Amino acid sequence: MSKLCCCFPNRNRKTDKKNNSSDFLEGANSRVNVLSTSEINSSKEENPTDIQKEIPAIINIGEINERATKQKWNVSSKFDLLCLDRILSPLKEYTLNVELPPKTLSIENVYGYQGMYARRNLYYPIESPSAQPILYFSGKLAILSYFSLRRQEFYTGHDNPITCMAIHPDGKVAATGEYGNSPSVHIWNIPYIEKDGKENDDIKNPIYILKLDKRFTQTISMSFSRCGTWLLVVALNQSYSSEILCYEWKRGKEVNCVFCHDDKVFNIIVNPFSRKEFVTLGVKYIRFWTIDNVLHPVDNIEKNQNLTVTHISGSYLKSKFFVSGTIKGDIYFWKNGLLSVVCNNIHKGPVTVVAPLQNNNFLTGGRDGKIIYWNEQHQPINEFTMEGSPCIRAIDAGGLEGVLWGWGEGFGRRASKSFRGLNNGFRTRNSVCSNSFLHEITRSNSMLTVSSNTYSVNVNNTTANNIDTLANDEPMDEQKFSDISYIVGCEDSSMYIFSQTDREPIRLTEGSCCSSDGDELWGLDTHPLNSNIFVTCGDDGYVKVYNLERKELMKKKNYGIRLRSICYSPSGINMAVGTNDGSFFIINENLDIIISAIIDRRATIYDLAYSPNGKYLAVASHDNYIDIYEVESDLGYYQRFMSCRGHSSYVTHIDWDINSSMIRSNSANNELFYWSLITDANKSIDPTSYRKVDWHSSKCILQWETKGIFGSKQVKNTTTHEDIEHFLSPCTVNCCDRVKINNDLQLLAVGDAFGNIYIYRFPAFSNDMQYQAFHAHGGPVANVKFAVNLKTLISIGATDGLVIQWNLDNVE
């Protein structure tokens, strides 16, 4: 391989690497112990690592820059735009068209669920005649999913990732809070979809946007009061202390703000039997409060303020007990603000969620991946283990923790009736079943204890050769969605429903697992022949195949190694997968055969690309090399026959030309190289021959056709009409891809480190190029790819694990 030219010097080099009394509680099995306060104080110390994992992330650009030193991406904004003039134009003439491209992108579907750091972010508060909506958030999006209709609605008003959510007691208004300096809380209508599928625009227009003071850096948890008059928000200030803000939300007015705790607070939970009472839980902290003219703690809880236990989750039960879960796996029962009973070692590790059921039963979920079922006598009698034992982050049984079931019915529901579009002649009904699924198991396993009953759940899959695939291709049965017992959200970005009609849970959605341990999602490719198929891979070790038409995960397999890049062969029969340890392997499209595994490098494989004729595979690594392999056949041998050496930093992107004879490449320090597939060392090379080439792909972010994407760019929030400015350089642009719609229109999609996607006309070689900008991801956009149907764009988030399916509108 001969190097033709180097267009850029080294710049911004990236660094490597049923009873209300306690009598029933006391009658529980031997694992339930009643402790005094002094005994609690002398209990074992908490694990600081566990506490840190439960603290919501505080994300800002400074932190991203700090991570850039340790990770394989950089967000430095320093870049000399004059260097772009050194890229010579191709000899082929292009007509300059700087006009705004057609309004192209709309979100069609989001795969995945915000499982990391999130709690109480999964609800289904209303029940419609056509479908039962499930409400949750991911990235900068609040998502309302009608899974039986395979349809989603989105609230897109946030400029920063959403960190918490609350639903009004009427079940028709939602509030979402975000992080960032002066974070905001958005209150918006939950749309009602008619049977005819008519769209409702209420979700696009917020009722109020409440802006917090500059001293706050993040909203942590929020809840509407039982009467619906107030919105209570827990926010973290710059001193890492927590404060409670009380809003009379219908007037958009803050009525009170008080100091809450000198450390992190995880949850705020209202009392469904009281109009004014609520509870806050945090690091070595629990406190019961009441709302009068001001917020103040309940006096009798002061007797228990010397507790040294971190409380993460909690909920009120129909018996009026308050149940809290701790970082050590214990369950605490409180009556009238006083500690009554402690159940030790229920979970191995933090109890991340406590979810009430309608009949005084309740569920607890933990980091150990278990869901434990508690009976009416408040005894644990059964447990379930989810596939892969992911941390359970949210469980919802449809009653808004008792409010929609009529607990404390005398207080009434009255707050949101004055807003347009909230009632529509629609009366809220109970949306939870009688939990017959759980009772059936309990009857068949009566008198069994938690320690002797573990049910491992294979979620709607058949397993063969460690490959998970959907059981059948039939449409989802809508009856299952009307029989929901409860919904479970997991940290691995998956969501499931338990229904009366199925003994096994049904997987609703799944993205990729991006964790606090640094797991990220970078690999993406679309099938070269089948317009409905695309594939992803990430640090969780999974290769996942999705179906665009059905909007669901089709199959997946865990290869037990951190994966970074993936690409289809031109025939679509095979896939090449690059890892973080310098190896790559070839698998068939069914994921069940590893055709070849090759280890020629020592560090991350950032990009792979088959030549258009399928005879070669180019592999770009962290070792600054591009290795070229000869491909014998789809099921044949891969032989390396040359290496491209010359980059002074690791290679990030590679493109082939249409004749499979040339390559262009980008490196981490903003180099653009061109290479010619010539093996004869005596043959002369025209150093400008790359100007005559037509390129098969446009993955390289630094090229003549993308010169106009760099510089200061504005992203307009179509909901709040605010503009946010970003500076784009080759270090803040992670990916790009082009599509040819027709002879007159080609489009270029660009993803940046701030979670934004830009659409330009292609080629975008002028600084005067106009663009459309869209925001949805809660972190860097790792990759973008157009499907071969020319109607769909797929984007993935590096740190949020989101996989978003965008529809190209107004293009023919």
Write down the CATH superfamily of domain 113-510: YVTN repeat-like/Quinoprotein amine dehydrogenase (2.130.10.10)
What is the pTM assigned to this prediction?
Answer: 0.83
Whether the predicted pLDDT of 245 surpasses 90: yes
- In terms of Cα–Cα distance, which of 794, 743, 182, 219 is closest to 532? 794
Is the CB of residue 514 less than 8 Å from the CB of residue 520? yes
pLDDT of residue 81: 67
- In terms of Cα–Cα distance, which of 788, 746, 802, 795 is closest to 774? 795
pLDDT, average across residues 473-477: 45
- 33 or 137, greater pLDDT: 137
Local structure of 313: helix, strand or coil:
strand
- In terms of Cα–Cα distance, which of 472, 508, 449 is closest to 30? 449
Task: Convert the pLDDT of each residue in 581-630 to its tens digit.
Answer: 999 999 999 998 999 999 999 999 999 999 999 999 999 999 999 999 99
Which segments of the chain belong to CATH 2.130.10.10? 81-105+511-808, 113-510
For residue 291, what is the DSSP state?
Answer: E
Q: Which residues contact residue 42 at a Cβ distance below 8 angstroms, ignoring those fewer than 6 apart? A: none
**Distance in angstroms (rounded) separating the CA atoms of residues 440 and 418:** 43
Is the CB of residue 254 less than 8 Å from the CB of residue 240? no
- 476 or 695, greater pLDDT: 695
**Distance in angstroms (rounded) separating the CA atoms of residues 465 and 555:** 12
Whether the predicted pLDDT of 240 surpasses 90: no
- 44 or 751, greater pLDDT: 751
Whether the predicted pLDDT of 207 surpasses 60: yes
Is the CB of residue 315 less than 8 Å from the CB of residue 401? yes
Task: Convert the pLDDT of each residue in 338-361 to its tens digit.
Answer: 888 999 999 999 999 999 988 889
Task: Convert the pLDDT of each residue in 753-812 to its tens digit.
Answer: 999 999 999 999 988 899 999 989 988 999 999 999 989 999 999 988 889 999 998 776
Q: Which residues contact residue 519 at a Cβ distance below 8 angstroms, ignoring those fewer than 6 apart? A: 513, 538, 539, 540, 562
Instruction: Classify domain 81-105+511-808 at the CATH class level.
Output: mainly beta
Q: How many residues does the chain have?
A: 812
Is the CB of residue 778 less than 8 Å from the CB of residue 730? no
Residue 47 CB-density burial (10 A; 0-12 exposed, 13-18 middle, 19+ buried) = middle
Stretch among 251-260, 497-506, 520-529, 738-747 having the lowest mean pLDDT: 497-506
Tally of helices (H runs) and strands (E runs) in the chain: 6, 58
Question: Strand locations in 262-396, DSSP E?
Answer: 265-270, 277-282, 285-291, 295-297, 311-316, 322-326, 331-335, 338-343, 351-356, 362-366, 370-374, 380-385, 392-396
**Distance in angstroms (rounded) separating the CA atoms of residues 375 and 361:** 5
Task: Convert the pLDDT of each residue in 279-293 to its tens digit.
Answer: 999 998 899 998 876
pLDDT of residue 595: 92
pLDDT of residue 264: 86
**Distance in angstroms (rounded) separating the CA atoms of residues 368 and 193:** 38
Task: Convert the pLDDT of each residue in 720-734 to its tens digit.
Answer: 778 888 888 888 899
For residue 34, what is the DSSP state?
Answer: -
DSSP string, 615-680: SEEEEEETTSEEEEEEE--TTS-EEEEEEEE--SS-EEEEEEBTTSSEEEEEETTS-EEEEE----
**Distance in angstroms (rounded) separating the CA atoms of residues 257 and 254:** 8
pLDDT, average across residues 139-158: 87
**Distance in angstroms (rounded) separating the CA atoms of residues 161 and 183:** 10
Average pLDDT in the chain: 79
Is the CB of residue 340 less than 8 Å from the CB of residue 355? no
Is the CB of residue 750 less than 8 Å from the CB of residue 784? yes
pLDDT bracket for residue 389 (50, 70, 90) = confident
**Distance in angstroms (rounded) separating the CA atoms of residues 236 and 361:** 33
Sheet with 552-558, side-by-side order of all strands: 461-464, 467-470, 552-558, 542-547, 533-538, 521-526
**Distance in angstroms (rounded) separating the CA atoms of residues 20 and 223:** 25
pLDDT of residue 45: 67
**Distance in angstroms (rounded) separating the CA atoms of residues 476 and 85:** 55
Q: Which residues contact residue 76 at a Cβ distance below 8 angstroms, ignoring those fewer than 6 apart? A: 12, 65, 68, 729, 731, 732
